[in-house]
Amino acid sequence: KNRVALVTGASVGIGAAVARALVQHGLKVVGCARSVDKIEKLAAECESAGYPGVLIPYKCDLSVEEEILSMFSAIKTLHQGVDVCINNAGLARPEPLLSGKTEGWRTMIDVNILAVTICTREAYQSMKERNVDDGHIININSMSGHRVVPDSVVHFYSATKYAVTALTEGLRQELREAKTHIRATCISPGLVETGFAFKLHANNPEQAAATYESIRCLKAEDMANAVIYVLSAPPHVQIGDIQMRPTEQMS
């Protein structure tokens, strides 16, 4: 039987690369994001490449809990449930602590923290009700979840990623208390060349481009390889956190 994986934020960047890699490895992947047209295009590419798995696009705004719950209920109806949950969707808004807008902070909390937690709970419940004991929850974290860099535009983003560090470790403990063998892992990248910095510096695309040109960045495919490595570890091995930086990255 094909394992079912949910990948959030599968429309572009790291999530799209992870979704593609999982389909290449034969999984049935539900990829969600708001721009579902991009996931449909990726699904068609995977199909014409003849990959053994399948990508199923699902439109979902992760900042709306009802949409997340509807998605899990659709997955239950159509594909029984989730065996692997990759919490990848995330964003950074340039909102310093001394002058930022509350709305920007709230959006980061909704997607980077709350959606991760809601998806985790729903994925766990789905695994539990089907007695799936080899499930895996992987959170795409950040090096910003492990240290605070001197750059005010990302301080609040960093705070949300520190939350992901705590959530992943807390989850690992709750899974042990629940006496399951479901595993929890986070993968924490440094700079990855995606559209991420262009959204962060939406008013200054030159700055975003300069960020990516300053060093040889990680590629989204490097992150996908890390996900495959984590999932292929034998059942007694739980990888807690992979910190992965570009070789040339200083901070």
Quick one: three-class SS letters along 86-111?
Answer: EECCCCCCCCCCCCCCHHHHHHHHHH
Asked if 191 interacts with ligand NJP (CB under 6 A), we say yes
Binds ligand NJP by CB under 6 A, chosen from 146, 199, 219, 245: 199
Smallest separation (angstroms) from ligand NJP to the CB of 236: 28
For residues 14 and 30, which CB has a smaller minimum distance to ligand NJP in the complex? 14
Smallest separation (angstroms) from ligand NJP to the CB of 77: 21
For residues 163 and 231, which CB has a smaller minimum distance to ligand NJP in the complex? 163
Smallest separation (angstroms) from ligand NJP to the CB of 113: 11
Q: Rounded to an integer, what distance in angstroms lies between the CA atom of residue 119 and that of residue 48? A: 30
Q: Give φ, ψ of 181 to 5 degrees.
A: -105, 15
Closest CA relative to residue 113, chosen from 81, 65, 146: 65
Is residue 157 annotated as part of the catalytic site, yes or no?
yes
Smallest separation (angstroms) from ligand NJP to the CB of 218: 7
Asked if 153 interacts with ligand NJP (CB under 6 A), we say no
From the list 94-102, 165-173, 188-196, 226-234, the region that binds ligand NJP by CB under 6 A is 188-196
Q: In this structure, which long-range contacts are made by residues 195-204, counting pairs with CB atoms below 8 Å and at least 24 apart in sequence?
A: 195/12, 195/13, 196/13, 196/91, 196/92, 199/91, 199/92, 200/92, 200/93, 200/94, 200/153, 200/154, 200/157, 201/94, 201/153
Smallest separation (angstroms) from ligand NJP to the CB of 11: 4
* DSSP output for 157-193: HHHHHHHHHHHHHHHHHHHHHTT---EEEEEEES-B-
Q: Which of 58, 124, 157, 162 is catalytic?
A: 157
Angle at 39 between CA 218 and CA 77, to 5 degrees: 120
Binds ligand NJP by CB under 6 A, chosen from 53, 94, 189, 246: 189
Of residues 104-133, those binding ligand NJP (CB under 6 A): 111
- Indicate which residues carry an active-site annotation: 157
Q: Contact residues for ligand NJP (CB under 6 A)?
A: 9, 11-15, 33-35, 60-63, 88-91, 111, 140, 142-144, 189-192, 194-196, 199
